[in-house]
Structure 1
Amino acid sequence: MAPFITSDPANMGNPKAEIPWYLEILERIPPLAQRVLQDYAGLKEDEVKAHVMKIREKAWASSPYPCIGLFRFLDFSLPDSPRYADVLERLKSGQHLLDFGCCFGHDVRALITDGVPAENICGAELNATFLDLGYDLFRDRDTLKSSFYTANIFDENDKLWKERPEGFEVIHAGSFLHLFTLEGQKKAVLALLKLLKKQKGSLIVGRQHGSTKAKEVRNYLYKPTKESAENGRLDTFFNHDSESFTRMWEEIGEEMGLKFEVKTEWGTWGSANGMDPAYYNLWSWEDKDTLRFKFWVELV
């Protein structure tokens, strides 16, 4: 039986236009993504793969990122969290969630598939094309009642901050904070905290790249443009270890007069989604010390 997504054992990708993070073949779809695309989007089992490939090619033409080229959007982040059952219970009881950096809004649709009222979920994404293609991927352009915003985490003049001043009890940041330098991550967290309700139990949950030892690493996606600078995308990322990640939140808490309980779980991603663990072996272009972790940060 073929592994999920790809059988590339060396994790080299297949270059397209000399970009290594592009896989030509989608061999199998992870079970959770298959379920959402069938049960929520209404696709037949034998229609799913071709439909995903069609949307992926449209997204790649606009934004040739690893999350698109490697089909990472099929490995949903939020259902993979150790706090997912808690998040479901909170949202079903009336709390609200913001998915910041939501890409196609796939985690939003997973929540709805699992019984969360769509009105209790909001998505935000810098790339408006991703939001538009999300409606095509899940075939719900005229029916979805969740709200979506085009938003830059470093521009609090965007509509999201103005239209949702009441804030959210839960914020999801999947594969998002690691896009920035350490200073950029701190600024992004401060912006997210302005959208989080300041009450005991409010929760920020997500996952990101880390490292055996905290350090700056080369940003292999970097292009020196004005747009990159405005979006906080510089020529390096910062990969945390457990200590530096916790310390970042403690420093921010001291600055804002807040106290957080910070938890991390290190290892592979996607286990709850039925992902093949080999998919998250070190890809050839990643720093040799790269690790992956899940986190949850709760106001106490």
Structure 2
Amino acid sequence: MHGTRQTLTQFNCFSATALLSVKHVHALKLYASVLLNRRMSNTRNRSRQASALARLHASVHPSPRPTYGPKRIDNSHIRRASFLTRFLDHYFPRAVRIDVAWYTPTIGRKLTQDLDFFIEATALEEKHLLPALYELREKMWAVDAYPCYGLWWFVLPGISGLTGWWEEVVQTRAQKGEVVLDMGCGIGQEIRRVAAINGVKPSQLYALDVTREIWNLGLSFFGDAGSPPAEFIHADARSHLFGNSLRHKPERLYQLSGKVDVILMAMFLDLFHFPDQKEVLNTAVALSKIGTQVIGYSRGATTTNAKEGYWDESGTRSMVHDDISMLVLWWDIGKHTNTVWKIETRTVDIEELGWDRQDVSWMGGPPAMGMCFLATRER
């Protein structure tokens, strides 16, 4: 590196042979020394050595800057880590970095807006709820470093805070026994709010996410693994098709084609750029039937300020909609799928969603607003 001649040395360790640069030979000798002496050490020494090895691993091979969304999902299988890196990451995992703009150490006042729901849903007293939430958030962050986790947005009222739409669409239709699906469900707080509505049964509720581990964290946190609030479907929401078939998706999702009445999209659509947003909505169309309603919210912009951009801080490319571009998106989907949708939008101050200005200042682009939308299929 930087003009220095690289010498490759064969190094036998962990019953495998790895070719490594001179720069890392001394570090690896220390790895081997520590591992070979572990059996001869007492409990205290083993603990110290493990800690030293973990620190050494982190210094030689530091944690990468976290990414989230499509970039993380799409690139996860492209570059496979070396055997040595995978071995050490398994036994001495590196902490996910938190020195990013979309991570806030403390919860602040966010929980106050929906405290009663979490107390009731977890059966925890407030004094025990906060420590449990901090522990949950760190586990979530270690799996996927999304802004909604790092900035504590997952404890906000979410779609239940969309006054009028929540009562008229979600609550009313769920009480009638209609099918509700939460797309991009995360730990499942949104679908649990639906499950808490009087008369609603788990058999009519579905939760979809690309990361099963996050859903499992929700089961553990809410303590309902034995009786989940909804059926979980492990799948990518993007269709990768410009049609109305889900036959290439998991069988359970395909079986729901044309059977879902209400689709929830909380803090989800703006994770994607315009082409991927179309793929997500293609999936929604395939699940829908005449009368289906899609309700959601995400970051937005005032009229004429819609923008698709690349946010340098996170390495994520996404589309931020205003009311006009949101109509265009659904019109485009309708054209490709031969469906017709009635679109209602609300552009609100982000404070109405429970966000703080500093939560979104790192994103760049147009001044941040909240974009709430309700799409009703008419044909």
* Length-normalised TM-score, structure 1: 0.82
* Equivalent position SS for 2:370: strand
Aligned equivalents of 1:221, 1:136: Cα separation in 2: 32
**Superposition pairs of residues 110-259 of structure 1, within 5 angstroms:** 110-115=193-198, 116-155=200-239, 156-196=248-288, 198-199=289-290, 201-212=291-302, 213-220=305-312, 235-259=316-340
1:282 shift after superposition: 5.9
Aligned equivalents of 1:251, 1:19: Cα separation in 2: 35
1:253 shift after superposition: 1.5
Q: Is the 8 A contact 1:176 1:208 kept in 2?
A: yes
Task: Supply the AA of the counterpart residue of 1:126.
Answer: V
* Equivalent position SS for 2:294: strand
1:27 shift after superposition: 3.1
Aligned equivalents of 1:53, 1:145: Cα separation in 2: 23
1:254 shift after superposition: 2.7
Please, which moves more after superposition, 212-221 or 175-184?
212-221
1:222 shift after superposition: 5.7
Q: Which residue of 1 aligns with 2:190?
A: 107
Q: Which residue of 2 aligns with 1:45?
A: 126
Aligned equivalents of 1:138, 1:218: Cα separation in 2: 36
* Equivalent position SS for 2:308: strand
Q: Which residue of 2 aligns with 1:85?
A: 167
Aligned equivalents of 2:195, 2:141: Cα separation in 1: 26
Task: Supply the AA of the counterpart residue of 1:146.
Answer: A
Aligned equivalents of 2:150, 2:212: Cα separation in 1: 18
Aligned equivalents of 1:107, 1:26: Cα separation in 2: 19
Instruction: Choose between structure 1 and 2: higher helix proportion.
Output: 2
1:247 shift after superposition: 1.4
1:159 shift after superposition: 3.4
Asked if residue 285 in structure 1 is aligned to residue 366 in structure 2, the reply is: no
Task: Supply the AA of the counterpart residue of 1:131.
Answer: W
* Length-normalised TM-score, structure 2: 0.66
Of structures 1 and 2, the one scoring higher in RCO (CA 8 A, sep 6+) is 1
Compute the RMSD of aligned alpha carbons.
2.3
Task: Supply the AA of the counterpart residue of 1:210.
Answer: G
Please, which moves more after superposition, 156-165 or 169-178?
156-165
Aligned equivalents of 1:180, 1:216: Cα separation in 2: 9
In structure 1, the gaps of 5 or more residues are 1-14, 224-234
Please, which moves more after superposition, 182-191 or 280-289?
280-289
1:271 shift after superposition: 3.8
Q: Could you say if the C-alpha distance between residues 256 and 61 of structure 1 is closer, same or farther in structure 2, counting changes exceeding 3 Å?
A: closer
Q: Which residue of 1 aligns with 2:10?
A: none
Identical-pair percentage: 22
Q: Is the 8 A contact 1:16 1:22 kept in 2?
A: no
In structure 2, the gaps of 5 or more residues are 1-95, 240-247
Aligned equivalents of 2:262, 2:101: Cα separation in 1: 35
1:266 shift after superposition: 0.7
1:145 shift after superposition: 4.4
Q: Could you say if the C-alpha distance between residues 280 and 150 of structure 1 is closer, same or farther in structure 2, counting changes exceeding 3 Å?
A: farther
Aligned equivalents of 1:202, 1:101: Cα separation in 2: 18
Q: Is the 8 A contact 1:154 1:191 kept in 2?
A: yes
Query: Which protein is bigger by CA-based radius of gyration?
Result: 2
Task: Supply the AA of the counterpart residue of 1:117.
Answer: K
